[in-house]
Structures are given as C-alpha cells and as structure tokens.
C-alpha cells in the first residue's frame, strides 16, 4: 500500500525554520518540468541564453537554487504569514512590510527579470522567480505565524515522527510518485483543473491560505489514509497550477524584456 511506503525525513528537516523549503526538491522540479511545456518559443530562447552563463544548468536544476543559497537576507522571501482573522486576504503593509515576503519577492524579481539589467542579474532573478512561484503554491507557505507554517504541528506520518510542514513539503509528493519526471508527465497528461494563468501572487497566496484554513487541513496526530485521499489531489492541483502560472509569468516577463 502507498500509505505504508516509508519516507525518510532527516532530523534536519524537522528543525527547519518556518517556510524554509517549499514542496522539497522534487516539488520544485515537477513545477519547472510542467512550466517548460507551456513556455513560448521566445521565452525558451531567452531562458537558454541566460542559462548559458552557467553551462549545464536547466530550468529544473535552478529550481532549488534559492533554497541552497538561502541566507538571513532572503529567508523571509520564501513565505508570507497571513492573519488568522483576515479571511486569507493579503494586505501588503501588514503582511509584507518592505516587500519581505514571497509575494513581494515574486513581484520584485519578475520586474528585475523583465528589466534591462546585466545578464548575470537577470539570471539570478530567473532563479528566484522559478523557486518563489513554487513556494507560494505550497499551502503552508501562506499559512499562519502561530504554528510557524505547520513546523510546530507534530504528528506521526509514514512510519515516523515529523511535522505538518515537512509532510506537505515532500512526504505527500513522494507518496504520490517519487519521480519528478513521472509526476510532471502525469499532471500534464491529465491537465488537472487549475485557475487560468495570470500574474497575481497575492491571489496565489490567498488560495494557499484558504487550503490551510479548511476544517480538515490539520490532521489527527497520526496521518490517516483518508487524509491522503483528500489532500493528495490538492497537492497535484497546486503543483500543476504553479507550473502553469510559472510559464505564464516567464512568458510575460521575458516578452517584456529586450532581446538578448
């Protein structure tokens, strides 16, 4: 049974800071693989030109760069904490002061990518955009500060102790399919329902928050098969929506940029 499949989660993952990793490496790779299918020819050419600055890199390999290089200056760019009594409405001055949240980071890095900045700067912006669009679609990256995005919600899942954030980062995805390429192909073939692609990072965060706000989102202290049946389709929908929206965002930003 899939539910009985073991997922090895390192002790370091259990100590992760709030919203440090969204969807884990596999989730980000799935999103990049989906996005590649919907890029315009112009966007593909401009992405290839930027990636040529670092031979061997691809949209998939750079999708986890922002986690690998995360520091104090960029840590807050990976998530946003919304107020529990705000109906998941994003209010920038309250929720993202100084633009230091995932919504503000997406907006700033897309603007940078679309600019006439030096190629190296635009490549860095591309890396951030690819990652942060994935981050904002992980529901617990637009959750609540009081449980640190699910990091302090402890439970038993897949045969071991963990926390809800780690479950949503990686465990649910690996239970669906441990291969990023296989899962991406499945999502593209099925084309699961997703909102029309548009550039609306605040809306994406609100969607994530509303998932976290569901009465059945926080499971019993032992993860059940029923939880998987309910929420693994939600995981698939968020991954697909992120890939679709990432492609649309890159198409828009790179069409707006000058030819390179």
6 pLDDT higher than 60: no
Percent of the chain with pLDDT over 70: 88
pLDDT top residue among 21 and 228: 228
CA 197-52-188 angle, to 5 degrees, is 30
- pLDDT tens digit string along 202-226? 999 999 999 999 999 999 999 999 9
Confidence of residue 192 (pLDDT cuts 50, 70, 90): confident
Q: Which CATH number fits domain 23-256: 1.10.3720.10, 3.30.565.10, 1.10.575.10, 1.10.150.120?
A: 1.10.575.10
237 pLDDT higher than 70: yes
Where does the chain have alpha helices with state H? 11-14, 24-36, 41-51, 65-68, 92-95, 102-113, 119-137, 164-166, 172-176, 180-190, 201-212, 225-256
Q: Average pLDDT, whole number, for the chain?
A: 90
- pLDDT tens digit string along 133-173? 999 999 999 999 999 999 999 999 999 999 999 999 999 99
- pLDDT given at position 18: 38
- pLDDT given at position 102: 98
Q: So where are the chain's domains?
A: 23-256
Cα first-last separation, the chain: 51
């Amino acid at each position: 049974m899939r539910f009985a499949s073991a997922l090895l989660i390192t002790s370091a993952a259990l100590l992760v800071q709030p919203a440090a990793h969204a969807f884990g490496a596999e989730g980000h790779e799935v999103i990049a693989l989906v996005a590649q299918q919907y890029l315009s020819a112009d966007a593909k050419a401009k992405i290839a030109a930027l990636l040529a600055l670092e031979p061997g890199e691809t949209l998939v390999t750079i999708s986890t760069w922002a986690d690998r290089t995360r520091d104090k200056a960029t840590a807050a760019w990976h998530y946003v904490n919304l107020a529990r009594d705000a109906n998941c409405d994003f209010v920038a001055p309250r929720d993202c002061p100084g633009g230091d949240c995932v919504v503000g980071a997406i907006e700033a890095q897309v603007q940078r990518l679309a600019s006439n900045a030096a190629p190296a700067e635009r490549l860095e912006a591309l890396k951030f955009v690819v990652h942060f669009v994935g981050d904002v679609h992980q529901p617990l990256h637009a959750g609540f500060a009081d449980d640190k995005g699910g990091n302090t919600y402890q439970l038993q899942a897949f045969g071991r102790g963990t926390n809800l954030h780690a479950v949503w980062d990686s465990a649910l995805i690996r239970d669906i399919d441990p291969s990023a390429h296989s899962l991406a192909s499945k999502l593209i073939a099925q084309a699961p329902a997703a909102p029309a692609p548009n550039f609306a990072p605040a809306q994406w965060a609100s969607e994530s928050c509303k998932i976290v706000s569901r009465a059945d989102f926080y499971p019993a202290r032992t993860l059940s098969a029923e939880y998987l049946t309910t929420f693994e389709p939600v995981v698939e929908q968020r991954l697909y929506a992120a890939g679709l929206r990432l492609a649309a965002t890159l198409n828009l930003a790179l069409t707006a940029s000058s030819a390179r």
